[in-house]
A and B are shown apart, each in its own frame.
Chain A
Amino acid sequence: MRHPVLKMEGISKEFPGVKALSDVSFELYPGEVHALMGENGAGKSTLMKILSGVYSPTQGTIRLKGKEVTFGNPLDAQRQGVSIIHQEFNLFSNLTAAENIFIDRPEMVGRFRRIQWSKMYDEAQRLVDSIGGGEIDVRQEVRHLGVHSQQVIEIAKALSFQADVLIMDEPSAALPENEVKKMFDVVNRLRAQGVAIVYVSHRMKEIFEIADKVTVLRDGAKIDTRGIEEVTEQSLIQMMVGKEVGQLYPVREQKHDQEVVLKAEQLSLDSAHNVSFELRKGEILGLFGVPGSGTHTIAERLFGLRRGTGEIIIHGTAVKINSPSQAKAKKIAYVPPDRHRQGIIKPMSIRQNLSIPMLPQLSKYTVLDEARIKEMSKEYMEKLRIKAPSDGQSVDFLSGGNQQKVVIGKWLAANPDILILEEPTRGVDVGAKAEIYNIIHQLAQEGLSILLISSEMPEVIGLSDRILVLYKGTIVHEFAHGEADQEQLLQRASHPLSEGGCL
Chain B
Amino acid sequence: MKRLLNVHEAPIIIFTILVTLLFSILSPDFLQFENIRLILDQNISMFIVAIGMTMVILLGGMDLSVGSVLAVTATSVGLFLSNGIHPWIAAAMGICIGVLCGMVNGYFIAIRKIPDIIVTLATMYIFRGIAVGISGGTWMTNFPEGFRFFGQGYVLGISFPLLIAVILIAIFIYLMKFTRSGRRIYSIGGNGPAAKLAGISVARTKFKVYVLSGLLVGIASVIFAAKVGSVQASTAGSSLAFEVMAAVLIGGGSIFGGVGTIAGTMLGVLFMGIVKNGLIISKVSPFWVSAATGFLIILAIVINTLQRIRQNKGKEGDLV
Contact = CB atoms under 8 A, between A and B. Distances in A.
Given a CB threshold of 8 Å, the question of whether A touches B is answered with: yes
Contacts of B184: 104
11 contacts: A90-B198, A91-B191, A92-B194, A93-B320, A103-B198, A104-B200, A106-B180, A115-B177, A143-B319, A145-B318, A271-B316
B157 to A, nearest CB: 29
Given A147-B319, A291-B317, A296-B317, A93 B191 contact: yes
Nearest to B257: A94
Contact of B197 (A90, A147, A297): A90
Q: Which of B184, B190, B193, B314 has the most CB atoms of chain A within a 10 A radius of its CB?
A: B190
B21 to A, nearest CB: 32
Interface size class of B (residues with CB under 8 A): 20 to 34
Contacts of A113: 179-180
A292 B189 CA distance: 29
A149 to B, nearest CB: 10
A271 B316 CA distance: 9
B4 to A, nearest CB: 17
A341 to B, nearest CB: 11
A145 B199 CA distance: 24
Shortest beta-carbon contacts, A-B, top 7: A75-B199, A90-B194, A92-B190, A94-B190, A94-B258, A143-B320, A93-B320
Contacts of B194: 90-92
Contacts of A292: 317
Interface of A: 73-75, 89-95, 99, 103-104, 106, 109, 113-115, 117, 142-147, 150, 270-271, 291-292, 296-297
A217 to B, nearest CB: 24
A303 B259 CA distance: 32
A52 B27 CA distance: 66
Given A90-B197, A94-B259, A103 B317 contact: no
A75 B211 CA distance: 27
A206 to B, nearest CB: 22
A73 B318 contact: no
A114 B179 contact: yes
A433 to B, nearest CB: 25
A104 B319 contact: no
Contacts of B197: 74-75, 90
Nearest to B179: A113
B86 interface: no
Interface string B20-61: 000000000000000000000000000000000000000000
Interface in B240-294: 258-259
A92 B191 contact: yes
Contacts of A142: 320
Nearest to A92: B190
Interface of B: 177-180, 183-184, 186-187, 189-191, 193-195, 197-200, 258-259, 314-320
Contacts of B314: 270
Contacts of B315: 144
Contacts of B199: 73-75, 104
Given A91-B194, A113-B179, A115-B178, A297 B316 contact: yes
Nearest to A110: B178
Contact of A115 (B180, B258, B259): B180
B258 A109 contact: no
A90 B316 contact: no
B182 to A, nearest CB: 8
B201 to A, nearest CB: 10
A103 B187 contact: yes
B258 A92 contact: yes
A74 B316 CA distance: 33
Given A75-B198, A291-B317, A90 B180 contact: no
Contacts of B193: 90
A150 to B, nearest CB: 7
B50 to A, nearest CB: 20
A144 B178 contact: no
Contacts of B179: 109, 113-115
A94 B189 contact: yes
Q: Which of A94, A95, A291 has the most CB atoms of chain B within a 10 A radius of its CB?
A: A94
B190 A104 contact: no
Nearest to B315: A144
Given A75-B198, A115-B177, A297-B316, 6 more contacts: A93-B191, A93-B320, A95-B186, A103-B187, A117-B178, A142-B320
A76 to B, nearest CB: 8
A211 B191 CA distance: 32
B318 A146 contact: yes
Contacts of B258: 92-94
A109 B195 CA distance: 18
Nearest to B200: A104
Contact of B180 (A92, A109, A296, A297): A109
A91 B194 CA distance: 7
Contacts of B198: 75, 90, 103-104
Nearest to B175: A113
A222 to B, nearest CB: 27
Contacts of B200: 103-104
A93 B319 contact: yes
A91 B319 CA distance: 10
B191 A90 contact: yes
A146 B317 contact: yes
A144 B318 contact: yes
A106 B197 CA distance: 16
A271 B179 CA distance: 41
Contacts of A117: 178
A117 B191 CA distance: 21
Contacts of A75: 197-199
B190 A115 contact: no
Nearest to A291: B317
A104 B186 CA distance: 11
